[in-house]
């Protein structure tokens, strides 16, 4: 059978080609396949890392947005509280000013009443003195003799005081 078979196959060339093919496969696997697979794995890892980073950035962005919303809501609440405190303080100041004005008006009214009473008492005392002087003068003319002014004044003051006490009772 030498080198050729009945089917036209040269077994020596076939074995050589098979051995060469296997060597070529091993070389391709060592030289091209492993580096190519390594490069593809590295690329896959980078894509995966990029996706994870994108998800992390997205999550961080959502978290930051939520925190911002909370801060805005808190700032809104604080602003409203400040406004309410300012309104309350304004109302307290207004109320205090009204109370102070009322107290001052009442004080003025009391002082005015006291002043009026004092002036009335002075006027009544003046009228009494004048009345006493006129009474002494009239009594002196009626009796036609000069009376002691001091004694008559004391007598008239006593009579007026008794008549005032009678009116009060």
User: What does each of the 169 residues of the chain score in pLDDT, given as a tens digit?
Assistant: 444 556 777 888 889 999 999 999 888 888 888 888 888 999 999 999 999 999 999 999 999 999 999 999 999 999 999 999 999 999 999 999 999 999 999 999 999 999 999 998 888 888 888 777 777 766 666 665 555 777 777 777 777 777 677 666 6
6 membership: H or E segment, kind and range: none
Alpha-carbon span 34 to 47, nearest angstrom = 20
pTM for the whole structure = 0.39
Alpha-carbon span 30 to 26, nearest angstrom = 6
61 membership: H or E segment, kind and range: helix 34-143
Alpha-carbon span 130 to 167, nearest angstrom = 21
Six-digit token pair at 155? 């007598």
**8 A C-beta contact, residue 150 and residue 136:** no
């Amino acid at each position: 059978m030498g080198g050729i078979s009945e089917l036209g196959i040269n077994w020596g060339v076939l074995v050589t080609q098979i051995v060469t093919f296997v060597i070529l496969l091993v070389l391709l696997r060592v030289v091209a396949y492993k580096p190519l697979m390594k490069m593809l794995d590295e690329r896959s890892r980078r894509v995966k890392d990029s996706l994870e980073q994108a998800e992390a950035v997205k999550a961080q962005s959502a978290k930051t947005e939520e925190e911002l919303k909370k801060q805005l809501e808190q700032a809104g609440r604080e602003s409203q509280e400040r406004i309410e405190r300012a309104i309350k303080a304004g109302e307290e100041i207004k109320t205090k000013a009204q109370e102070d004005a009322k107290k001052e008006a009442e004080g003025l009214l009391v002082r005015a009443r006291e002043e009026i009473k004092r002036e009335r008492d002075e006027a009544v005392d003046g009228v009494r003195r004048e009345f006493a002087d006129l009474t002494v003068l009239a009594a002196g003319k009626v009796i036609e003799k000069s009376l002691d002014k001091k004694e008559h004044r004391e007598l008239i003051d006593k009579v007026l005081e008794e008549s005032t006490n009678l009116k009060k009772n």
